[in-house]
């Protein structure tokens, strides 16, 4: 069978192009060998629109193509009050957005969850007892542990049989003394967890409970314990004993990255808190004072005391001041249950956690 001649590419469009774009332009019966009429030029195709890009920096537009830039802005879903009720009833078609209080809380949570490189050690202290130091340490630890994804532990360094474990778990059978005795054999997270108790997501290391043992541990022992905890925990909160001159306090200040000084809006409570700051400055800890947070525990207050003047005094000396309102649940002195705190109290401790977390600047870490 004879092979059919190959089509001439110079005449193919003139012969067969009508099948795609219109009537034939030549006689299809014309022999392939003959010259064809001149080819009809192809009509120009419309140019597709091109997106504009900044001149001189072609990659800038791609860098700006983020999810938040592509999606239309919508108000966040309200979670409380009439705003949430209206949102639920209308199936989300009417969204009034969160209230100012919800926006404030969301901002505090963002600050509490600030990234942290390494371990950060917080010392909660007061030169005067009875102002709520242990309560502040416990609630600060819970606020940070419950709203972050890393590990937090609170250490009772009170040399006089501290009550931190009693306020959080009621379990003080295993203390820091047992950990010290076995310190050389502790090498894993499982090993450490044998000496702590758990309240929610917060780990607690109890202090020595035997009154006959004297000081719970010396400066050297405290530093060894804190160095060990720093291998397994991101946040280490120390509930210091009252007073400033005992051995453990020296170790606490030597290892502290930030301090929380607890006082009260009363003449003696505010005066003692101010003297605590004076003592720290006099002993070479001025950097800790400038970055400190003062907590005013308002269990005791009087209309005769100018609370605003007290707050102003501390605001000029430290980085932040938090007022914790009176709370019937905390006033019992029993075990602390975050679910039973009044909203204003929970918000105050969340604000305290945010102020502490503001110091978690990764650029400042060793």
Alpha helices for the chain (secondary structure H): 12-16, 18-21, 60-63, 67-70, 81-89, 100-112, 133-147, 164-168, 176-181, 189-193, 219-229, 247-255, 267-282, 286-290, 307-315, 328-331, 343-357
DSSP 154: E
Q: Please provide the DSSP assignment of 29-82 as one string.
A: TS-TTSPPPPPPPPPPPPPPP-----TT-TTHHHHT--HHHHSPP-PPPP-SHH
C-alpha separations of 362 from 111, 240, 333 in Å: 13, 26, 37
Question: How far is the C-alpha of 204 from the C-alpha of 155, rounded, in Å?
Answer: 6
Question: How far is the C-alpha of 256 from the C-alpha of 270, rounded, in Å?
Answer: 23
pLDDT at residue number 134: 92
pLDDT at residue number 364: 47
- Neighbouring C-beta atoms of residue 59, cutoff 10 Å: 9
pLDDT at residue number 137: 95
**Model's pTM, two decimal places?**
0.75
Question: How far is the C-alpha of 203 from the C-alpha of 151, rounded, in Å?
Answer: 8
Tokens of 336: 């602390």
Question: How far is the C-alpha of 241 from the C-alpha of 254, rounded, in Å?
Answer: 15
Buried b (16+ CB within 10 A) or exposed e, 236-251: bbbbbbbebebbbbbb
Walk along the chain (366 residues) and give the pLDDT tens digit of each residue: 556 666 676 676 666 665 655 555 555 445 554 454 555 555 565 565 554 545 556 555 555 667 666 766 666 777 777 777 777 777 777 777 777 778 888 899 999 999 998 899 999 998 777 778 999 999 999 999 999 989 999 999 887 777 888 899 888 788 898 999 999 999 999 999 999 999 999 999 988 766 666 555 788 999 999 999 999 999 999 998 776 777 788 889 999 999 999 999 999 889 999 999 999 999 999 999 999 999 999 887 778 889 899 999 999 999 999 999 999 999 998 899 999 999 999 999 999 999 999 999 644 444
Main-chain dihedrals φ then ψ at residue 167, nearest 5 degrees: -75, -20
pLDDT at residue number 340: 95
Tokens of 57: 């920096």
pLDDT at residue number 76: 77
Of 127, 166, 106, 121, the C-alpha closest to 333 is 166
DSSP run (H or E) holding 237: strand 235-240
Sign of CA dihedral 116, 117, 119, 122: negative
Of 253, 248, 260, the C-alpha closest to 162 is 248
pLDDT at residue number 94: 75
CB-CB contact of 252 with 157 (8 Å): yes
Tokens of 18: 């009508």
CB-CB contact of 144 with 353 (8 Å): yes
CA 120 to chain centre: 13
């Amino acid at each position: 069978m004879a092979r059919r001649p190959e089509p001439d590419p110079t005449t193919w469009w003139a012969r067969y192009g009508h099948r795609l774009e219109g009537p034939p332009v030549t006689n299809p019966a014309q022999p392939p060998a003959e010259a064809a009429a001149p080819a009809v030029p192809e009509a120009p195709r419309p140019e597709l629109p091109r997106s504009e890009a900044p001149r001189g920096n072609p990659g800038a537009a791609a860098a700006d193509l983020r999810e938040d830039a592509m999606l239309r802005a919508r108000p966040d879903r309200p979670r409380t009050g009439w705003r949430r009720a209206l949102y639920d009833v209308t199936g989300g078609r009417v969204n009034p957005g969160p209230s100012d209080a919800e926006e404030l809380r969301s901002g505090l949570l963002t600050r509490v969850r600030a990234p942290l490189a390494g371990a950060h050690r917080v010392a909660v202290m007061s030169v005067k007892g009875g102002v709520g130091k242990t309560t502040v340490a416990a609630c600060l630890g819970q606020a940070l542990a419950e709203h972050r994804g890393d590990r937090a532990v609170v250490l009772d360094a009170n040399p006089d049989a501290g009550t931190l474990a009693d306020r959080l778990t009621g379990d003080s059978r295993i203390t820091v003394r047992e950990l010290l005795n076995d310190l050389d054999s502790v090498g894993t997270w499982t090993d450490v967890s044998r000496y702590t108790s758990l309240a929610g997501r917060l780990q607690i290391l109890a202090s020595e409970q035997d009154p006959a043992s004297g000081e719970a541990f010396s400066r050297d022992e405290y530093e060894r314990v804190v160095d060990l905890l720093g291998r397994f925990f991101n946040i280490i909160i120390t509930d210091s004993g009252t007073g400033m001159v005992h051995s453990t306090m020296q170790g606490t200040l030597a290892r502290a990255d930030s301090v929380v000084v607890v006082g009260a809006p009363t003449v003696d409570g505010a005066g003692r808190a101010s003297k605590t700051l004076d003592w720290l400055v006099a002993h070479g800890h001025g950097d800790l004072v400038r970055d400190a947070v003062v907590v005013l525990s308002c269990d005791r207050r009087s209309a005769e005391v100018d609370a605003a003047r007290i707050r102003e005094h501390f605001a000029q000396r430290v980085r932040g001041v938090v007022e914790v309102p009176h709370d019937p649940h905390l006033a019992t002195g029993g075990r602390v249950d975050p679910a039973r705190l009044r909203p204003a109290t929970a918000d105050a401790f969340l604000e305290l956690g945010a102020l502490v977390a503001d110091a978690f600047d990764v650029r400042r870490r060793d």
